[in-house]
Amino acid sequence: MIEGEQLRKEYNMGDTVVHALDGVDLRIAEGEFVSIVGASGSGKSTLMHILGCLDRPTSGELLIQGQPVSSMNDRRLAAIRNRYIGFVFQTFNLINRTSALDNVALPLVYTRKPFSKRDARRALERVGLADRARHTPSELSGGECQRVAIARAIVNHPKLILADEPTGNLDTGTSAQIMEIFHDLHANGLTIVIVTHETEIAVQAQRMIQMCDGRVIDDSHVDEARRREVVALVESTRRRMFRTRSAS
């Protein structure tokens, strides 16, 4: 589904050139569940924006569904995004004075095809929010807002979901609920790519790509033993922090 070869992204900061991406090679097959993990400034969000055709690489080649997109004009890139890709962001990016239903239906407006809000209602049903369709984002919890954002991402029936820090603003319990939705979408055939700095989220994918200084430093499948090890370490750290706070 996605093929990236020697992807580079450079920014000029005065006399300094910042290499946000420094020669990334990447292959993501249809139906995979992939996480991209790294510290702030590692290049993971820059990579996601390029994979999602929200930005262009300075050099290198990117193919989506076999189509070379690096040199496409803005109109063709918008068509690729609308046809193949659904986006989920940490800050939800919802319209505050608009109902959940209308937020979900918004991408349908850009299809230039006749549409019904029935598709938006079905998308809300898939994330368990059918009963909140008329509520605005200000009337919803953070987890509910993220579920609305996921419904918006899937309303056009994309083949690929790109999620940038989708649990970054959520507590542990709500994060688990959001990940359950991603697992369900993956089980139903969607390709999922999640960008995160949280290792306990990253190891829930089938494959984890680690980035540092604009480069891929590890790309490996996540086995169950590794997943349990990370989850146990995170839980141990949380318990230790809780005991410290309680003691103080």
- pLDDT, one tens digit per residue, over 62-78 is 999 888 998 888 888 88
In a domain, 59, yes or no: no
In a domain, 207, yes or no: yes
**Count of domains observed in the chain:** 1
In a domain, 63, yes or no: no
Integer Cα distance of 127 and 155 in angstroms: 11
State pLDDT tens for residues 203-235.
999 999 999 999 999 999 988 777 777 667 666
Q: Beta strands of 71-214 (E only): which ranges?
A: 85-89, 160-164, 191-196, 207-212
Which residue segment(s) compose the domain that 143 sits in?
33-49+84-247
In a domain, 23, yes or no: no
Residue-level pLDDT at 136: 96
Integer Cα distance of 136 and 81 in angstroms: 26
In a domain, 6, yes or no: no
Residue-level pLDDT at 151: 96
| β-bridge mates for residue 195, sequence order | 36, 164
The pairing of beta strand 33-37 with beta strand 191-196: parallel
Token pair in block for residue 133:
């369709």
Residue-level pLDDT at 239: 65
Q: Is the pLDDT of residue 4 over 90?
A: yes
In a domain, 188, yes or no: yes
pLDDT band, residue 113 (cuts 50/70/90): low
DSSP summary character for residue 115: -
In a domain, 243, yes or no: yes
State pLDDT tens for residues 129-166.
999 999 999 999 999 999 999 999 999 999 999 999 99
In a domain, 24, yes or no: no
Integer Cα distance of 179 and 81 in angstroms: 23
Say which CATH number the domain at 38 has: 3.40.50.300
CA nearest neighbour of 211 among 34, 55, 16, 81: 34
Q: Which of 38-47, 101-110, 132-141, 163-172 is most confident?
A: 132-141
Residue-level pLDDT at 63: 94
Integer Cα distance of 78 and 58 in angstroms: 19
